[in-house]
Homo-oligomer: A and B are copies of this chain.
């Protein structure tokens, strides 16, 4: 089983080091190979996603990804910016199904912005389509406006697109996932305004006929943004397009108060996947040894379960993280009264001990 390890920028290398430490401690036949990505790759090889890194990712069974991005690359032309690496990987590997759990860990309920009774026990799964929509839709660019009230003026444009098979496959992923959970899917769109959303809604409803045991609800994206704040526990699986999913998955992650703990998986049709923490590269705390490695460690657990078919090993890691939390260990981002604050490496070591 081959894993491409892409640490990236900011706190990426630190948190990846701890996840690798935990994986090694499992003594499974895992082959891990590291390559640069993002700003680090731009510095090393002049491109955020060098040919060799992409090839490594394509040949691996799974990619373990840290984080990319730093203010210092903001002035680079867009194709050379760190984020292009993650977009390039998603597209090249066909990683269309993004799983973003929004879980409120019992020990971290206090860390949420929301009142404890609204988030205690929260467990939502956001499934975001990741290779279509306005993220990749052609045509896009700048031009003189060809028509409309500002014809002749400089304008920029992008194209939102979804095809029936793209919607079908992500809808199936959502309904299948719901069967393993509380059997409810909320499909989020803006069908009162967008043609793309109307097709989305129609196709999701059609696919639903194959899943009569799962409840389907349609919700407009503006309402979903509200309901997540008002009553997040009403959701089970939330499925949506790439753009709305970007916004709603971050909103949901933040309201759990547990964002430093949340893993994510992005899968393709062959079960190959990219696994990364839900949080970003946090350049402000990079190199200080204080970043929370648990989201990355839990991403490694997701990788073992989804792409490497090692559910027992995944469960061992998850149980070890629970033990460490129960023992009162916390990194600074999730610290509270009476807990023991530890650094990145000490947290990784503690998980290894608890395995």
Q: Which residues of A contact B (CB under 8 A)?
A: 78, 81, 83, 87, 113-115, 118, 134-138, 140-142, 145, 147-148, 150, 153-166, 190, 192-200, 221-223, 225-226, 228-230, 243-244, 246-251, 253-255, 259
Most chain B C-beta atoms within 10 Å of own C-beta, residue among A138, A150, A229: A229
- A113 touching B153 in the complex, CB below 8 Å, given contacts A145-B163, A198-B78: no
Task: Say yes or no: A250 contacts B225, CB within 8 Å.
Answer: yes
User: Are A193 and B161 touching (Cβ within 8 A)?
Assistant: no
In the complex, A62 Cα to B171 Cα: how many Å? 44
* Contact status A142-B226, CB under 8 Å: no
- Given A113-B118, A153-B165, A157-B195, A229-B251 contact (CB < 8 Å): yes
Partner of A226, one of B160, B196, B254: B254
Mostly helix, strand, loop or mixed at chain A's interface? Answer: helix
* A221 / chain B contacts, CB cutoff of 8 Å: 246-247
Task: Please state if B162 and A155 are interface contacts (CB–CB under 8 Å).
Answer: yes
Instruction: Give the contacting residue for A164; candidates B153, B165, B229; CB below 8 A.
Output: B153
Q: List 19 A-B contacts (CB under 8 A).
A: A78-B198, A113-B118, A114-B229, A134-B134, A134-B193, A138-B147, A140-B194, A141-B195, A148-B161, A150-B166, A155-B164, A156-B197, A157-B161, A157-B162, A222-B247, A225-B251, A226-B250, A229-B229, A229-B255
Tell me if A156 and B195 are in contact (CB < 8 A).
yes
Assembled-state Cα–Cα distance A194/B83 (Å): 12
Measured between alpha carbons, how far is A154 from B247 in the docked complex, in Å? Answer: 27
Report the bound CA distance from A101 to B78 in whole Å.
Answer: 34
**Which B residues are in CB contact (< 8 Å) with A78?**
192, 198
A223 is contacted by which of B198, B222, B249, B250 (Cβ under 8 Å)?
B250
Q: Given the complex of chains A and B, what is the CA–CA distance between A243 and B156 in angstroms?
A: 15
CB A91 to nearest CB in B, in angstroms, measures 9
Q: Which residue of B lies closest to A136 (CB)?
A: B148
Q: Which residues of B contact A195 (CB under 8 A)?
A: 140-142, 156-158
Nearest-Cβ distance from residue A228 to partner chain B, whole angstroms: 8
Q: A251 and B254 in contact (CB under 8 A), knowing A157-B161, A192-B81?
A: no
A153 touches which of B141, B163, B200, B223 (Cβ 8 Å): B163
Partner of A161, one of B135, B155, B226: B155
Contact A163-B154, Cβ < 8 Å, known A87-B193, A114-B114, A250-B222: yes
- A156 is contacted by which of B81, B114, B136, B196 (Cβ under 8 Å)? B196
Shortest CB-to-CB span from A336 to chain B, Å, is: 14
Query: In whole angstroms, how far apart are the Cα atoms of A216 and B10 in the complex?
Result: 25
Q: How far in angstroms is the closest Cβ of chain B from A190?
A: 8
Q: Which residues of B contact A154 (CB under 8 A)?
A: 163-164, 199
